[in-house]
Structure formats: structure tokens, C-alpha cells
Chain A
């Protein structure tokens, strides 16, 4: 404990993390790895120790046994001296006094505080959580509830064809349920994938026996005896025993907003700088709740991804200790569904020219492919289908002007590493 950090009472106030999800838990680990030996408090509103969320829509739903998804290894929990407060909610942040007020009336002082409050499910007013037969998926308890329901149901209606909805549909279909996915948009994942990839994925979803309705406008939605009835503007009525609503999430920013922190109007996240500092002294934010600075575009973005939570946790932890941190690697995302591991580097945008290093695997077949999204002569987006190892070679190419013709990227005859070297040009040698 350094004397300069001590309060007037001679006791150093702890570092406190609000939110025990991916970002919160990884920040706790990073703070210890960076050598913070003083008090460290992690406050989470769930009853469980911190866990990974990506398996909730996959292994946790599919398996009878409980896969190990813990984020804090037992030795860390035992030896780190971390004060983990579970089932506890922070109700007020007072940045002027550097205090957090808890739902049990307690007051937690802090020297520096990290908001890693994540997000909550976006609710469909017609089917609020708690409606019989209706499920939302965000927490481990949500996943357990849905898993139990999937064991006995024969049919499932998934409302929302985003990443989460599709992963749940994939798992439920593998469990043998009759699955329908309804998506308001005209294309699957149309905001993050080019049309050829959207069409490919839609075909794959259907090849697995899932009924997929795109451009589906719901005109009615209600819980009926023994299930859910959905009325579509132009496709009549659908009935299923269960419904999962997966229409996105909302960042949890109430604490920050009420404390007067700057919230980004464009994306609803807590505005932070490149070091994850919010507009309030001593308060940091990371993960799904944060609107982070994207150096590549000079803009702020809120990213809901496992990688972003890890990276911002690492950067925020360093900043809380007054240390510099390496900048984050390019944005990276994965989804596992319908027998495919799909990964993305960078961000898609309208107007990119895509080059396919194919062919795209047909029907339910395995096989690998990549799509490269080019803006002018720069690679700004890359999609890999069952080709994560190949995609990895392009991490250094992202954002750079290509030293080869963009069409060259489509040449599947050139090994990925060699292709990446061609794209980087002599400068990479």
C-alpha cells in the first residue's frame, strides 16, 4: 500500500468493480496480475460466481451435465483476497464522495471504481419475462430455465434472428424440437454480413430443418393455453409451446446516468476514452455497457462481445492503477451455430466490396470459406466460416492498404499465411 493513496483515516480505499460478468471478473484478474495488492471488491447482482456467457446458448442449453464455465479459477478465488459480493446490487454511485450505495443499505467507498454493468434483455411488451412459456436468455438462471423447458417441449418459436436467436435455434433443433425463427429484417444478420453471406446462412439454417421467416412483421403476439400464438402480417398464425425472445439487449447505464456521467446518445453506452475513463474522475467503464473509443475510425462504439469485454477490462485495470496498456487488437467475434464456427474481424459496413475465398459450404456440409470486405484498397472486414486459424493470419492486415490486388484474396490455392504476407507486402518482412 503506498502512503500517497491513503485516505485521511490512514486506510487506503479499495478498488471496486460493479458487475461480475466477463468484464468485471477479467478486470479483477488483471488488477491482481498487474500487482495491485490492496483491497479489491467485486460486486455482482447474480447469486453465482462469475461465469462465461457464450456457452449459455450452446453447451449449457444442450448438456445435461454442467460444463465448467467459471471465470475465476478456484486458486484465484482462494488466494487473491478478492472480496466477491454476490447477489448484491449497487443502487447509487456518488462520484464526488467516491462511494457506492448498496441495496442492503451499505456504503462502499472506493479509490477507483469500474462500471462493468453489462446489459439486460430488450423486452417485448406483449411477452414480458415471467409469461408462461416465454423465455429470455441473459443469465445462467435464464439458461437453466430454458434448458428444462426444452427437455419437454416439442416446438419452439424464436423471436429475433440475431446471433443469440440463431444459436438458441441451432441448439434446440439439435435437441429435436420443431423450431421456427422469425426475423423482422429482410436478411439474416444483414447489418453485419454482406448479402451473399446472409443468403448462405439462411440456406444453412433451413437445411437443418428450421423454419425461417424473414421480413416477418408481427401483428399479434400472445400467450395462449399451452403455448404462444404469433400472428404475422402476411403469413397467418404460428403456434409453439415455447417462445424465446432474442431481440437484443439494452446497456445497464442507470447508475451512471443518475450519477451524471456522460452517456452516448448514439448507442446508449457510458462514454469512455481510450483508457476506459468515464467523464467522472475515478470512475471507469468496460464491456457491454461502455461506449469505447475506436481508434481505427475515430468514433465511439458500444460493442457487445466477449473479446471487447476482455480487452476493455485489461485496459481499464491498467488505467485504474495509473499504468499504460497495449491498445486492443482489432474487433473479433465468433458464433457457433448449425455446425459452423463463424468468426469476424473488424466491422462490416454498407458499400464494401466482398471477395469470397470459397466455396461456401453447401447445405449441412462441413467446409471452410472466407469473405474479405474491402473499402477502396483497405481490408476492413473479414468473415471466416470454419476457418478461424486462417482468419487469424489477417489480424495484422486489417485496416491496411492491400499490397496485392483484392481479387488475389479470393485465391483459395494460396495458403492463408502466405496470402496474408502478400496482402501486407514487403513492409511486413
Chain B
């Protein structure tokens, strides 16, 4: 896998997200319950950055209309979203977080 360093571990607070761009895509690095997740940063319902939303219990909630996505699977947990967001592999090495986008 082609890993890219996104941030130092302490750059992302727990239950928060950090937006980043990779290969022209708008992506997000989330941290919840101490665990890191990488995902598409655009809500599948309507254009909004999920990093402006609310993170809790391994789930991100869109700031516009409270659509929730599971950060492990990307699946929507409630309306109004019906389509999943993409989730990308993440690894933590030497206090840094890496993401693979292929």
C-alpha cells in the first residue's frame, strides 16, 4: 500500500476531525475513542465538510442535516443520507498517522 503521512498523532483531538486533500480528493482524518479513521470528507447527501460536524462513538454527524456515518464502515446510520462515504486504511507509526488511498 502507498502510505502518506497526514498528521502527528497529537494534531487531532479525540472526537474531532482534520480535513486534508490527497490525489485531488477532499478527505478527513477523524479520531474517536482514541482510534483514527480516514474517510471522504464530503457528505453524500448534500455538499458539506464532515470535519465541520460532530464526532462521537466512532460516528461522524454532518453539520448540515445531522446525517450520521459509521467511521468503520462508512455506512449511513440515519436519514437523510442514504449512500455511504468511503473509508480508507489508516496506520499509526512513530507518533504519526498515515493513510493509504488507492
A332/B79 in contact, CB under 8 A: no
A332/B64 in contact, CB under 8 A: no
Closest Cβ neighbor of B14 among chain A residues: A417
- Chain B 48-92, CB within 8 Å of chain A: the 1/0 string? 100011100000011111100000000000011010000000000
A392/B64 in contact, CB under 8 A: no
A26/B66 in contact, CB under 8 A: no
B80/A341 in contact, CB under 8 A: no
Closest Cβ neighbor of B79 among chain A residues: A310
In angstroms, Cα B46 to Cα A428, docked, is 33
Answer yes or no: A336 CB below 8 A from chain B CBs: yes
In angstroms, Cα B66 to Cα A389, docked, is 8
Answer yes or no: A334 CB below 8 A from chain B CBs: yes
Q: Cβ of B15: which chain A residues have Cβ within 8 Å of it?
A: 417
In this complex, the member of A306, A332, A334, A417 whose beta carbon has the largest number of chain B beta carbons within 10 angstroms is A417
User: Shortest CB–CB separation between residue B78 and chain A, in angstroms?
Assistant: 8
User: Shortest CB–CB separation between residue B80 and chain A, in angstroms?
Assistant: 6
In angstroms, Cα B66 to Cα A336, docked, is 14
Q: Is the interface of B mostly helix, strand, loop or mixed?
A: loop
A392/B82 in contact, CB under 8 A: no
Closest Cβ neighbor of A392 among chain B residues: B54
- Chain A 281-319, CB within 8 Å of chain B: the 1/0 string? 000000000000000000000000010001000000000
Answer yes or no: A52 CB below 8 A from chain B CBs: yes
B79/A388 in contact, CB under 8 A: no
In angstroms, Cα B80 to Cα A20, docked, is 17
A334/B54 in contact, CB under 8 A: no
Find residues 1-51 in chain B having any chain A CB closer than 8 Å to their own CB: 15-16, 46, 48
Answer yes or no: A393 CB below 8 A from chain B CBs: yes
- Select which of A306, A341, A393 is within 8 A of B64 by beta carbon: A341
Answer yes or no: A125 CB below 8 A from chain B CBs: no
In angstroms, Cα B66 to Cα A341, docked, is 12
Answer yes or no: A73 CB below 8 A from chain B CBs: yes
Assuming A336-B64, A341-B63, is B80 touching A388 (CB within 8 A)? no
A334/B79 in contact, CB under 8 A: no
Q: Cβ of A389: which chain B residues have Cβ within 8 Å of it?
A: 52-54, 61, 63
In angstroms, Cα B48 to Cα A341, docked, is 10
Closest Cβ neighbor of B49 among chain A residues: A389
Closest Cβ neighbor of B83 among chain A residues: A68
In this complex, the member of B16, B48, B53, B79 whose beta carbon has the largest number of chain A beta carbons within 10 angstroms is B79
In angstroms, Cα B62 to Cα A26, docked, is 20
Q: Cβ of B65: which chain A residues have Cβ within 8 Å of it?
A: 54, 334, 388
In angstroms, Cα B62 to Cα A306, docked, is 16
Assuming A393-B54, A417-B15, is B82 touching A388 (CB within 8 A)? no
Closest Cβ neighbor of B56 among chain A residues: A392
A334/B64 in contact, CB under 8 A: yes
Closest Cβ neighbor of A336 among chain B residues: B64
Q: Cβ of A387: which chain B residues have Cβ within 8 Å of it?
A: 63
User: Shortest CB–CB separation between residue B9 and chain A, in angstroms?
Assistant: 19
Q: Cβ of A54: which chain B residues have Cβ within 8 Å of it?
A: 65, 80
Q: Cβ of A392: which chain B residues have Cβ within 8 Å of it?
A: 53-54, 61, 63, 66
Q: Cβ of B53: which chain A residues have Cβ within 8 Å of it?
A: 388-389, 392
Q: Cβ of A336: which chain B residues have Cβ within 8 Å of it?
A: 64
User: Shortest CB–CB separation between residue B13 and chain A, in angstroms?
Assistant: 9
Closest Cβ neighbor of B64 among chain A residues: A341
In angstroms, Cα B52 to Cα A389, docked, is 6
User: Shortest CB–CB separation between residue A15 and chain B, in angstroms?
Assistant: 21
Q: Cβ of A73: which chain B residues have Cβ within 8 Å of it?
A: 82
Find residues 374-401 in chain A having any chain B CB closer than 8 Å to their own CB: 387-389, 392-393
- Chain A 193-205, CB within 8 Å of chain B: the 1/0 string? 0000000000000
Closest Cβ neighbor of A387 among chain B residues: B63
Q: Cβ of A417: which chain B residues have Cβ within 8 Å of it?
A: 15-16
Q: Cβ of A68: which chain B residues have Cβ within 8 Å of it?
A: 82
In angstroms, Cα B45 to Cα A59, docked, is 11
In angstroms, Cα B62 to Cα A369, docked, is 17
Q: Cβ of B66: which chain A residues have Cβ within 8 Å of it?
A: 332, 388, 392
Besides the contacts A388-B63, A389-B63, what 18 more A-B pairs have beta carbons closer than 8 Å? A26-B79, A52-B79, A52-B80, A59-B46, A71-B79, A332-B66, A336-B64, A341-B64, A387-B63, A388-B52, A388-B53, A388-B62, A388-B64, A388-B65, A389-B54, A392-B54, A392-B61, A417-B16
- Listed by A's residue number, 24 A-B pairs whose Cβ atoms lie within 8 Å are A54-B65, A54-B80, A59-B46, A68-B82, A71-B79, A73-B82, A306-B80, A310-B79, A334-B64, A341-B48, A341-B63, A341-B64, A387-B63, A388-B52, A388-B53, A388-B63, A388-B65, A389-B61, A392-B53, A392-B54, A392-B61, A392-B63, A392-B66, A417-B15
3 closest A-B pairs by beta carbon, nearest first, are A388-B63, A392-B54, A389-B63
